[in-house]
Amino acid sequence: MKKIAIITGASTGLGREFAKVIRKKEEIDEIWAIARHQDKLNRLRKQLGKKIRPVPMDLSKSDKIEKLGDMLSAEQATVLYLINNAGYAKFCSYGDLSVRDSINMIDLNISGVVAMGLICIPFMPRGSHIINVSSQAAFQPLPYQNLYSSTKAFVRNYTRALNVELKDRGITATAVCPGWLKTNLYERADIGAAKATKRFYGMNTPDKVARKAVEDAEKGKDISIYSFYVNFCHIGAKLLPQKLMMELWLRQQHINPYSLPSQQ
């Protein structure tokens, strides 16, 4: 049987760093690298070598994801690592996005994660790991990143509960909650909205987050947090009322919810 890892959103940013970490594992024969653009995945294979197998797929389309189950059966693959990393943000108010764009974010950030897990778990043996990328944005409601932070709160809760449910199968599930990372996320997130996230405190590079996430998954932790700043925010969000946390966030971002957009 072929032993594989599946990494979604593997072509850039945090996903590429996950691919670098998993590539070093001798027991892995292939890394199925999923993203929409084939050219970027081919580039990844050139950079990281033949273990990388490009699997171009739009994970916001559930009918496409279902084909993955057929591929796993046909190739008699056993999945040792499933890393659900693909996701995106939009820095704006609820009304700045069309209904279609709002639902698409939910389709990728939530439905894609759930579908990938449900399809892959039957192919995962004891000792295998699911790593779902959530965010520091999951710790509290975030006005003007309302939808994104809510999708990541879902991923965090879902993953931690899944970790309990998977104990009898010997599979771990870990929610990774990074703070700001130097990646391409901002290109898609910044749509020029008047009230939007513009200040990025505690920025980190994604390599450290990927390394720690894999270590934490292998230790069986249900949550992985990197950096003093993100840990501090995590504790703050547990101790302080959520209304106060939202107020602090708005002050940090210099956003006045009562002003007209043109006055920001």
- Contact footprint for ligand NAP (CB under 6 A): 8-15, 34-37, 40, 58-60, 85-89, 108, 133, 135, 178, 180-181, 183-185
CA distance 173 to 152: 15
Q: How many CB atoms lie within 10 A of CB 259?
A: 11
For ligand NAP, the closer CB: 73 or 205 = 205
| Shortest Å distance, C-beta 154 to ligand NAP | 12
In whole angstroms, how close is the CB of 177 to ligand NAP at the nearest point? 7
Task: For residue 203, give both structure tokens.
Answer: 């920025």
Q: Quote the least distance from Cβ 26 to ligand NAP, whole Å.
A: 25
The pair of structure tokens assigned to 233 is 């925010």
Q: Which of 168, 140, 165, 163 is nearest to 152 (CA)?
A: 140
Rounded Cα gap, residues 211 and 17, in angstroms? 8
In the bound state with ligand NAP, the residue whose beta carbon lies nearer, of 192 and 241, is 192
CB of residue 25 vs ligand NAP: minimum separation in angstroms? Answer: 20
SS3 for 33? strand
Report, in Å, the least distance between residue 237 CB and ligand NAP.
15
Helix pair angle (242-252, 228-239), 10° resolution = 140
Query: How far apart (Å, rounded) are the C-alpha atoms in residues 264 and 257?
Result: 9
Q: In this complex, which beta carbon is closest to ligand NAP, that of residue 9 or of residue 171? A: 9
Distance separating alpha carbons of residues 64 and 41, to the nearest angstrom: 17
Residue closer to ligand NAP (CB basis): 13 or 220: 13
Q: How far is the CB of 165 from ligand NAP (least distance, A)?
A: 22
Neighbours of 46 (CB within 10 A): 9
**Alpha-helical runs (H) found in the chain:** 13-23, 38-48, 62-74, 99-106, 113-120, 146-165, 185-189, 206-218, 228-239, 242-252
Between 120 and 185, name the residue whose CB sits nearer to ligand NAP: 185
Q: In this structure, what are the phi and psi dihedrals at residue 221, rounded to the nearest 5 degrees? A: -75, 145
Q: Least separation, in Å, of the C-beta of 121 and ligand NAP?
A: 20
* Minimum separation from the CB atom of position 84 to ligand NAP (A): 8
* Residue least distant from ligand NAP (Cβ): 13
88 or 229: CB nearest ligand NAP: 88
Considering the complex, state which of residue 1 and residue 191 has its C-beta at the smaller distance from ligand NAP.
191
Nearer to ligand NAP, 76 or 153 (CB): 153
Q: Are residues 220 and 28 in contact, defined by beta-carbon separation less than 8 angstroms?
A: no
